Amino acid sequence: MNIIYYIITLLLYLISIPFLIILSLKSKYKTSIPARFFLIKNPPFKEPLNHFHSCSLGETKALKSIIEKFEKVNLSVITNTGYEEAKKYKNADVRFLPFEIFIPFWFKPCKSLVVVEAELWLMLFVIAKKRCKKTLLINARISDKSYPKYMKFKWFYSHLFKYIDTIFAQSEIDKTRLESLGAKNVIVAGNIKSVVDYKITKNYPKPKEKLIVAGSTHEGEEEIILNSFLNTKNSKLIIAPRHPERFKDVENLIREFTQKHNLKFSKFDDFSGDIILVDKLGELINLYAIADIVILGGSFIDNIGGHNPLEVAYFKKPLISGPYIFNQKSLFNMISNYYIIDKNQLNLYLDKNLDRSYIKNRGNIDIILKEIDV
């Protein structure tokens, strides 16, 4: 099966080359695609260390509590945001993980391969099983929405799991689902994202008005939040879009809205406006620290699955979310006092006296560390 799989991925790669070249011209992919699909400035790791692999920003952040226990590690990622976050780890040698056809030639022997969440690349585990002492999947989860899709390809995943020595699942539900797909030696360790300590990088003055922070918003959500804010008393609204390429569109939307309703608009970090646009990355933690209420985006439209609520609960802030949190249910289960509401209820909740959210339990990284060759 492995040979057939490799041939199929090779053919797909050859067919996709023209599209990959075009995509690499976009700023969002100008580094990751050349590195992953053409090995440009992306050589193999030099030392046989523990090799950690994550996909993007959130998963890479979650690794901090584990990676900091090691003197030096190798760390591979998929996305540009993951790469930028990975480069912050002073003890990590960082690379983009190449596309699967390159893995047999690129991947070097390591102590242990430690993969985060749903990065289930067959060739990565096949080769690592031969060249490393152990293969681990940590923080593993399967959402309600994804589970039926996984089951359709049970034959594939039952084969892939043969190459993973130990799996650490986020919850008992995840363990049951993984085992139904053929996974063996599954241990519940909780979610390692709950172990992270969120440290502010800059102290901002708290406005005297109630400060409402809408974090990680997506297209279609800004309109909902703006309209809900309109009749809120003695308040300021900060909107932080999830993706930087949307900053300009959201700015135009807010400008039009404020002009129509005789409100003042400002850009971050000018807190003089009634509605403030955050057009910088890396500031949400600093804003959660001074917020009175947080609206968590990616949850009022049915195609994102929500975002990490632990960042908000860490600072014990009232947390409002939409109903579409299928990718974050395990994280919401780790906190108390949050409000899941419909978009039509948002305006009512912004004027309520809401309870503060907080983290009620944390993941266990000690049992994971025992499995990794330190």
Contact of 66 with 15, CB cutoff 8 Å: no
Q: Mind listing the pLDDT tens digit for each residue in 12-59?
A: 999 999 999 999 999 889 999 999 999 999 999 999 999 999 999 889
pTM above 0.75, yes or no: no
Which candidate, 200, 204, 120, 218, places its Cα nearest to that of 161?
A: 120
Residue 190: is it exposed, middle or buried by C-beta count within 10 angstroms (0-12/13-18/19+)?
buried
The answer, yes or no, to whether residue 374 has pLDDT greater than 70, is no
Q: For the chain, which residues make up each domain, given as ranges?
A: 2-189, 210-359
Tokens 């390429």, residue?
245
Contact criterion met (CB below 8 Å) for 68 and 44:
no
pLDDT of residue 362: 78
Quote the DSSP letter at residue 316.
T
172 SS3 class: helix
Identify the CATH assignment for 210-359 out of 3.40.1390.30, 3.30.565.10, 3.40.50.2000, 3.40.30.10.
3.40.50.2000
DSSP per residue over 183-217, as a string?
Answer: --SEEE---GGGG-----SSPPPPPSSEEEEEEEE
**Segment 193-203, tens digit of pLDDT:** 888 788 899 99
What gap in Å lies between CA 132 and CA 356, rounded to an integer?
Answer: 45
Give the tens place of pLDDT for each residue, 300-348. Answer: 999 999 999 999 999 999 999 999 999 898 789 889 999 999 999 999 9
Compute the distance between CA of residue 101 and CA of residue 6 in angstroms, rounded to an integer. Answer: 7
DSSP 73-115: EEEEESSHHHHHHHTT-TTEEEEEPPPGGGHHHHPPPEEEEEE
Element (H, E) at 256: helix 247-260
Q: What is the dihedral angle through the alpha carbons of 312, 317, 322, 328, rounded to the nearest 10 degrees?
A: 30
What amino acid is encoded at 244 in this protein? P
- Of 191, 190, 295, the closest CA to residue 235 belongs to 295
pLDDT tens digits, one per residue of 256-281: 999 999 999 999 989 999 999 999 99
Instruction: Evaluate the omega torsion of the peptide bond into residue 269 and state whether it is cis, within 30 degrees of 0.
Output: yes
Using the predicted structure, report yes or no on whether residue 148 has a pLDDT greater than 80. Answer: yes
Place of tokens 């800004």: 222
Name 201's Cβ contacts closer than 8 Å, sequence gap at least 6. Answer: 282, 285, 286
Class of domain 2-189: alpha beta
Q: Are 139 and 52 in contact (CB under 8 A)?
A: no
Q: How far apart are CA 225 and CA 240, in angstroms?
A: 12
Residue partners of 70: CB distance under 8 A and separation at least 6: 49, 50, 91, 374
* C-alpha closest to that of 181 among 193, 200, 164: 164
pLDDT of residue 334: 87
Whole-number pLDDT of residue 333: 87
Alpha carbon distance, N-terminus to C-terminus of the chain: 33
The answer to whether 332 and 325 have CB atoms below 8 angstroms apart is: yes
Q: Are 2-189 and 210-359 equal in CATH topology? A: yes
Q: Does the pLDDT of residue 360 top 90, yes or no?
A: no
Higher pLDDT, 9 or 1: 9
Q: What is the mean pLDDT of the segment spanning 66-89?
A: 95
pLDDT for 361 beyond 80:
no
Between residues 144 and 76, the one the model is more confident about? 76
- Residue 180 pLDDT > 70, yes or no? yes
